[in-house]
Amino acid sequence: MVFDWKPEYSVNVEEIDEQHKKLVSLIDKLYNSIYSFKTREELGGILEELIEYADYHFSTEEKYFDKFNYEYSEEHKREHEIFREKMLDLNKKFKNKELEISFELMDFLEDWLLDHLMEQDQKYVKCFIEHGLS
């Protein structure tokens, strides 16, 4: 694994924690596929799955931001949009054979996800719990 799920990543909301675990799993799947020299098609499929699932996850969080009038909603949504744009650009370059999926991409994904879990997502924990989400 690229990294293991740790209790400190939890936002104490089961639905979102499960989605975070799935994202970690997809990043790990991509990492292992690179390491085992899977085909471009297989790597591309995993990259597509990761992009689609991240979008689904972001939509879940953003639904609650809007529902609960989360104070840092716009900042957090911008972080999501930056990730979406970066991943769509990388995917486009990969499809056009301008980019190989590499450990550089994995470093980006791991750093982004850890920062997002440990910094950005921890900011909404209090708001979500105060609104009865668990």
How far is it, in rounded angstroms, from Cα 79 to Cα 113? 11
Closest CA to 27 of 83, 76, 79: 83
Q: Is residue 6 part of a domain?
A: no
Per residue in 38-86, pLDDT (tens digit) is 888 898 999 999 999 999 999 999 999 999 999 999 999 999 999 999 8
Structural domain contains residue 3: no
pLDDT in tens, 11-49: 999 999 999 999 999 988 988 888 887 888 898 999 999
- Domain of residue 52 covers 11-130
Residue with tokens 């900011």: 123
CB distance 44 to 95 below 8 Å: yes
Contacts of 90 (CB under 8 A, 6+ apart): 47, 99, 105
* 129 compared with 105, residue with greater pLDDT: 129
The pTM of the whole model exceeds 0.75:
yes
The pLDDT of residue 102 is above 80: no
Residue 107: the pLDDT is 83
Burial class (CB in 10 A: 0-12, 13-18, 19+), 68: middle
How many domains, the chain? 1
Decide if 120 contacts 45 (C-beta within 8 A): no
**CATH of residue 59:** 1.20.120.50
* Domain-located, residue 2: no
Q: Is residue 50 part of a domain?
A: yes
Residue 54 or 101, more confident: 54
